[in-house]
A = this chain, B = another copy of it.
Amino acid sequence: MAATKIEYVMQLVQKQVSQNLLTVGTRVPSVRQYAQQLNCSVSTVVEAYARLVSLGVLESRIGAGYFVCRPSTASGLLAERGIEYSREVDPLWISRQSLDAPEEMLKPGCGWLPKEWMPEQAIRKALKAVAKSKSSLLLDYSIPHGHVDLRRYVARKREAYDVELNLNQILVSDSSTQSIDLIFRHLLKAEDTVIIDDPCYFNFRALIKAHGLNFIAVPFTKNGPDAALFKQALQYQPKLYLTNSGIHNPTGTALSMQTAYEIAKLAEKNGLYIIEDEIFTDFEYAPAPRYLTLLGLKQVIQIGSFTKTLSAAIRCGYIIAQEEMIDQLIDLNIATHFNSSHLNAEIIYQALMDSSYLRHIEWLKKQLHKSMIETVKKLAILNIHPVLLPKAGIFLWCRLPNQIDAIQLSQRCLAKGIILAPGNSFSQSENAGQFIRFNVAQCTDKKVFDVLTEVLEELKMRDAV
């Protein structure tokens, strides 16, 4: 029974109802009649009618057939609206634009891979396996700590940088963002101060705003945070430092061992918590230093998810922290979420265990490397240059030509179907007005550079006038 056939029959009935050709209380043709009339199978009509009953368009009266049960004047209202682009550029600008964008828009500004780069077959295979798995996985709540095997996997992965965990030190959450949100709620209150990088992932800023926190943005150098300025920031008694480990967003920087050591000592001396966001860890060729290795769980909390390498549609993340803290985070998670999605955790685990996954990651890294080199070359022609060439990952943090403002560029490109990521979205001090973050995996379409060329010309012309 083709899904499209059922939908066709549904639309036919709905159309007649909305055009008042079938009014409330009218009996619709019997299943058999209608199947004959439309030259389709009886089961197609049965299924279409059943769905129309679920949608409240028809009702079934036993022994009498199906009847139209309500006028459909609202159906016009139930259409989707267009997207408005008037919004000010704020920390959420990029997220909202990228998430709301129609599929045909190009998104060099977004933070994820194109779906053609994701391990689609492994996900489909995982879904099929899960469809046959034991019923408790499909129907029951998860235990509070979350999926056992997935926690075991997360623990094993930490052994790569000499960290041994037990399973009660891991909580399965819904996403990295939710993980940070839970930790903030647990450790901080409004008006507390945190340290972030300048620039940093824009959503960190949105989270800080949502919690009413104060913050100090410490400049991020090509080795990590500026240790001298980090030390100065400590006089404001910050409670924690939030950063990306492995590959820094937006700059693509890998933390150097010297800087990791300096920052770790400062954090230890001042009892400062560090949240390490492992979101890009799977793209690393060799692991950069981790604060967790140096400081352990007493001061470091790690978070991560599978969004970047598996699927953004299947929300699943994790938190690594001391056992007591995990226990308290669980209480908070139940109070504010009740439970994480057990099904998502199982699908993710199945996909991770698929023999194709490791091969896929290797392929991805090669693809990213190739795209990075190509994107750097194409941008150089436009006099746009990365501040540094990242060792790995998906981002290039680039300086625009003189006199070009990133927000003006982004707004003009948006009108031509290209979503960019202007620098000041990432910079709390707003001193990145001449910077843009490019996602190299989203820069493979020639149109990106054609539009950039065109808009840069326009902006230069205007200045010349």
Contact = CB atoms under 8 A, between A and B. Distances in A.
Interface of A: 3, 46-47, 50-51, 53-57, 70, 74, 77-81, 91-92, 95-96, 99-100, 103, 112, 115, 118, 120, 123-124, 127-132, 135-144, 148, 152-153, 155-157, 159-160, 164-168, 174-178, 181, 185, 190, 203, 206-207, 209-210, 311-315, 330-332, 334-344, 347, 352-353, 355, 357-358
A223 B210 CA distance: 38
A349 to B, nearest CB: 10
The 8 A-B pairs at the shortest CB distance, nearest first, are namely A50-B355, A206-B335, A127-B131, A313-B342, A177-B338, A315-B341, A115-B139, A181-B336
Main DSSP-derived SS at the A contact region: helix
Q: Name which of A51, A159, A341 has the most chain B CB atoms within 10 A of its CB.
A: A341
Contacts of A103: 136
Given A96-B330, A206-B331, 15 more contacts: A55-B152, A56-B160, A70-B159, A81-B167, A92-B331, A92-B335, A96-B334, A123-B139, A127-B130, A128-B128, A139-B313, A206-B335, A210-B336, A314-B341, A314-B343
A100 B210 contact: no
A121 to B, nearest CB: 10
A75 to B, nearest CB: 9
B358 A78 contact: no
A144 B153 CA distance: 31
Given A112-B141, A336-B178, A159 B56 contact: yes
Given A81-B168, A203-B334, A203-B335, A341 B174 contact: yes
B54 A358 contact: yes
A332 B210 contact: yes
6 contacts: A78-B166, A139-B311, A175-B337, A185-B210, A210-B332, A314-B341
A185 to B, nearest CB: 7
A320 to B, nearest CB: 13
Contacts of A347: 343
A80 B167 contact: yes
A54 B153 contact: yes
B124 A131 contact: yes
A171 B445 CA distance: 33
Which of A74, A159, A207: most chain B CB closer than 10 A?
A74
